[in-house]
Structure 1
Amino acid sequence: MILSRLKEYADTRMDLPPAMYGETSVRWFVDIGADGTLEGFTSRGGDTKANRRGEILRVPQLVRSVGISPKLLADNGEYALGIGRQGADETKVTERHRRFVGLVRRCAEETDEGSVWAVVRFLEGWAPDRDGGLLPDGFDPGDTLTFRVDGVLPVDLEPVQTFWADDTAGPEGRSMTCLVTGEVGPVEERLPVKIKGVPGGQTSGTSLVSANAEPFTSYGLKNSLTSPISRNAGERFAKALNHLISDGPSRMYVGPTVYAFWTRKETGFDYLQFVEQPKPQAVKELFQSPHTTRVPHDLKEDEFYALALSASGGRAVVRDWLETTIPEVRESLKRWFEGQGIVDAYGEESSEYLGVRALARATVQRKGETNRDAEQRIQPALGSALVRVAIKGGRLPEDLLARVVRRNRVEGEVTRPRAALIKLVFATQGGSMNEMQALNPNPNLAGDERAAYHCGRLLAEVEAVQRAALGQVNASVTDRYYGSASSTPASVFPSLMRGARANLGNLRRKAPATHAALDARIMEIASNLPDFPKVLTTRSQGLFALGYYHQRAKDRADARAAREARDGKKEES
């Protein structure tokens, strides 16, 4: 199904290059006359990072392994001109060039194209040792070059393209039923195009279908024959996937996984702006859009696909595959953003929402660690779970909650991304969490879950008392006790409360108003806690984190409001 959808995309949505052609950065044109004389080298490179390596052209393509395999009329300097890279094996360079010249001669003989014969005459008169001095400044043997004859690129000629397609096809393979098209005919032992840009894969590309070791073989079939695919289908689905992965608007990286998104037909729906870095205005418009009823799955114009890939060496690994519809994606995204909605760290209702990458980082990111470093440690399964729920709905796994709770304990703090992710996990597991966007003194919770939320609030107030009494300290009570307070409250809260009472006693003398406000808040929270739970489950620890985050945010908002009120009175006077 995956390969069929990709081939369908290639057939209906792409302007495909000729068979066995691909888009490559060409750095140099070798300009020659009709008689094969060299007229010069023309640089196709620019000054920007995007075009420094050359102009993107459609030229012959080939998957190279350890052998010597020239590409027709467009290759690097070793093959095309026999000019080796620094430290290259000269014997191999000579053989590469000899094979390249032989391939061009065969093309000339079969097509009888005058421009190809001109290239043959040039190549047979070219001596790398003698003519190397004619190379232009800045020439790099690793750059791709092609030939231009009196302004014509031979690679663009239809007879040349037909020759290359036939030449690379090789002998007709085994006849089997193609898994992509369902047609009976020759299938490829090795698929002709590799997949580029998959994290963890080889720079030369990865194979989506391969069985190159004995354990992967089946019924005597090996390599790609275990999943028989025709050459045309194999080339088309690979080119479609390469296009999707290379195209910014259709792909997203989350840690070691790349996601490709596409629709069956052009819809104008920019889904990436919601799952990668949500734009506040776009999310606002999404919420304002009318609710849609479920769309029949056979309404193919609206079909939406998502493919998640990682790699191990030369093999691509399918992490997830989603098929849904645009209306269903929109409804899932609404629930996704509602689920993660939470006030910011200063108690303000925020229009900023978090994308998949930011939420995934919340499970691993250490204090002071860069986003890039943190993303290298994201578990593929967690990223896939977030994308799946964002696009198609469903439940986020308990493991996700456990990782966030553990990160809170290790760091001794609750960040907004971690609080938002905790709330989102709860929202996807059933029950409304709309009442938990901000501090809720009377949450719809019972038993230890209710106690856990208020324990989190209480820790925030104990910390506030310490800060008011002692100012900034090297290690706050939260720094020292968050882990034990959030997992075994009964073991630490009695001593924390004794310390808070001592600090409140000091505040009564030097700041009576502050003492009164803090004492009232602690009394209100404590009234909800007849006993401290001995042990909290992972879910309850998540609610503890929400209580702590909500209370700190509310305290900051109240402090700001008080300052603004005082400043207003000063201005009036």
Structure 2
Amino acid sequence: IRAMMVAKRIKPADWVTWQVGALDPREDTGVQQWWRDWRTQALGGGVETGDSPPAGSMLCLLTGEPVEPLLTQPKISGLSGVGGLSMGDVMVGFDKAAFQSYGLEKSTNAAMGEAPAQQYVDALNHLIRQQKEATGKNPSRRTNAMMVYWFKEHIPPEEDPFSMLYGMETGEQQTASALAQARKLLDAIRSGNRSALGNNHYYAMTLSGASGRVMVRDWMDGQFVQLVAHIEAWFTDMAIVHREGGNRLAPDPKFLAVGGSLVRELKDLPASTTSVLWHAAVAQLPIPQPLMAQALDRFRSAIVKDETFSHARMGLIKAYFVRQPQGKALMQPYLNPDHPDPAYHCGRLLAVLAKLQQAALGDVGAGVVQRFYAAASTAPGLTFGRLVGNSRNHLGKLEGGLSYWYEQQIAEVMKKLGDQFPRTLNLEGQGLFALGYYQQLAALRTPKKDSSNSNSNSNTEGESK
């Protein structure tokens, strides 16, 4: 047996089982029943109804029945990729005297019988194994925390809202955007075509490992219809015009693409950030300001390095404002020339000036955006005077018609700004500046024949960068 294990490269923490001929004992109902009876009776896992509790028995926290409590809990496996140990981690553990009370030893401080404890461990191992299998098929789901979930009643994979949130998994889902899928399912429930789903419930939690223990970072549960509505709202709030402009929105971003837009690499995304984003998406909560600030930092870095815009990052910044009071009416996926905040129009103006410089001088390496974005987005009152003044030199290098068109663009934005530029911008102002810059740039890239339809709600497939 040892030689066989070495040949198959079986690790000490791997699970093994037995097979008798062609029979797997685990699948035999007789063996399963014998195992339950043996664990309950021979190991003292429970007390027959009507019997007096034996000496040393305690009430099980899971069942409320008198049991002989376990000194140590079974281990949960599969969390080694999110901070856990390869040999497994415990959900309940009292391995130090400081954790123990009333003279109780180890896990008797949270009394559980062997059978119910094994049941919750088996259930968690099953959920974790499902997520690991999904991660193997879709590596973009790999992060420093693991989200596990289940439903009260079975849900087909193509109708799984969490799968929509993670990204397209099934063939049917790949034929439509996640937003369209969520809306279709929500409409079916509300119209009564899928009324049974309205009585379903979901349960979800975020797990990670820490020093041999399972850390439950978050717990959520609720009605299935609310979950679908919240997922639909997540994609609606994240919707942003495509970076190349045109009459189209950016593809629906996968959940971890949003988290990945906050860091250089997805493996650097803290488990706590993943948990906060997960809660915001599933429970339709506001986007915390620190996450918007992270997105802005990454956006500024991308500007300086002249990197491709991340749809997921810009969608997250937009969602931050949409989920503020009155934000939904003001912040749109496409350019909003009537936005009331001057910070937004300052960003628009920088985009126009950048395109003007490009039209006049071509590729000049570090252009006006790379050189002045940081200053313009924090202190526009001290920066734009020089930029607008220099634009006259660029206008003089263009032919009459094109020069006139750019003059009109600059004048239209300046009209929205009024008499003067804001002296400085706070964090939210910088966020609006970034959105104004991005959406104006996308509008300038939009052919005139498409500009009249820029408020279309059309979407495309795939994952945003």
Shift of 1:493: 1.5
Q: TM-score, normalised by structure 1?
A: 0.65
Deviations 1:431-454 (A, max 9, x none): 2435521111111x3xxxx11000
Deviations 1:30-66 (A, max 9, x none): xxxxxxxxxxxxxxxxxxxxxxxxxxxxxxxxxxxxx
CA distance in 1, matches of 2:65, 2:25: 34
**Range with bigger deviation, 152-161 or 465-474:** 152-161
Deviations 1:171-199 (A, max 9, x none): 99942222222222211111124232351
SS in 2 for 1:557: coil
RMSD: 3.3
| Matched ranges for 1:206-285 at <5 A | 206-248=89-131, 253=141, 255-268=143-156, 269-277=159-167, 279=173, 280-285=176-181
Q: Which residue of 2 aligns with 1:339?
A: 237
| Matched ranges for 1:376-415 at <5 A | 376-412=267-303, 415=310
Residue number among 193, 198, 207 corresponding to 1:309 in the alignment: 207
Shift of 1:388: 1.5
Deviations 1:198-238 (A, max 9, x none): 51111111111112234433333453233222211111111
User: Is the 2:57–2:69 contact (alpha carbons within 8 Å) kept by the matching residues of 1?
Assistant: yes
Shift of 1:491: 2.3
CA distance in 2, matches of 1:420, 1:148: 52
Unaligned runs of 5+ in 2: 46-53, 136-140, 192-196, 452-465
Q: 1:148 to 1:471 in 2, by over 3 A?
A: closer
Shift of 1:334: 2.1
**Range with bigger deviation, 231-240 or 478-487:** 478-487
Q: Which residue of 2 aligns with 1:436?
A: 332
CA distance in 2, matches of 1:220, 1:251: 44
Q: What percentage of aligned pairs have identical amino acids?
A: 28
Q: Is 1:204 aligned to residue 87 of structure 2?
A: yes
Q: 1:394 to 1:152 in 2, by over 3 A?
A: closer
**Range with bigger deviation, 407-416 or 204-213:** 407-416
Q: 1:505 to 1:173 in 2, by over 3 A?
A: farther
CA distance in 1, matches of 2:359, 2:378: 26
Aligned residue identity for 1:415: S
Q: Is 1:534 aligned to residue 405 of structure 2?
A: no
| Matched ranges for 1:175-214 at <5 A | 175-197=57-79, 199-214=82-97
Higher relative contact order (CA 8 A, sep 6+): 2
Aligned residue identity for 2:212: G
| Matched ranges for 1:79-228 at <5 A | 138=7, 158=31, 161=35, 165=39, 169=43, 174-197=56-79, 199-228=82-111
Q: 1:532 to 1:270 in 2, by over 3 A?
A: same
Shift of 1:522: 0.9
CA distance in 1, matches of 2:24, 2:310: 58
Q: Is 1:519 aligned to residue 407 of structure 2?
A: yes
Q: 1:561 to 1:352 in 2, by over 3 A?
A: closer
Aligned residue identity for 2:447: D
Deviations 1:88-123 (A, max 9, x none): xxxxxxxxxxxxxxxxxxxxxxxxxxxxxxxxxxxx
Aligned residue identity for 2:430: Q
CA distance in 2, matches of 1:408, 1:281: 25
Q: Which residue of 2 aligns with 1:427?
A: 322
Shift of 1:471: 0.8
User: Is the 1:254–1:378 contact (alpha carbons within 8 Å) kept by the matching residues of 2?
Assistant: no
SS in 1 for 2:268: coil
Shift of 1:398: 1.2
User: Is the 1:217–1:226 contact (alpha carbons within 8 Å) kept by the matching residues of 2?
Assistant: yes
Q: Is 1:462 aligned to residue 353 of structure 2?
A: yes
CA distance in 2, matches of 1:141, 1:390: 39
User: Is the 1:260–1:308 contact (alpha carbons within 8 Å) kept by the matching residues of 2?
Assistant: yes
Q: Is 1:503 aligned to residue 394 of structure 2?
A: yes
Residue number among 479, 499, 503 corresponding to 2:370 in the alignment: 479
User: Is the 1:461–1:522 contact (alpha carbons within 8 Å) kept by the matching residues of 2?
Assistant: yes
Shift of 1:139: 5.9
Q: 1:166 to 1:473 in 2, by over 3 A?
A: same
User: Is the 2:250–2:311 contact (alpha carbons within 8 Å) kept by the matching residues of 1?
Assistant: no
Q: Rg: which structure is higher?
A: 1
Residue number among 212, 232, 257 corresponding to 1:358 in the alignment: 257
SS in 1 for 2:221: strand
Deviations 1:226-271 (A, max 9, x none): 3222211111111111111111499774621000011112133312
Q: Which residue of 2 aligns with 1:547?
A: 436
User: Is the 1:423–1:433 contact (alpha carbons within 8 Å) kept by the matching residues of 2?
Assistant: no
Aligned residue identity for 1:377: D
Unaligned runs of 5+ in 1: 1-76, 86-137, 294-298, 366-373, 563-573
User: Is the 1:154–1:160 contact (alpha carbons within 8 Å) kept by the matching residues of 2?
Assistant: no
User: Is the 2:150–2:204 contact (alpha carbons within 8 Å) kept by the matching residues of 1?
Assistant: yes
Q: TM-score, normalised by structure 2?
A: 0.79
CA distance in 2, matches of 1:512, 1:542: 35
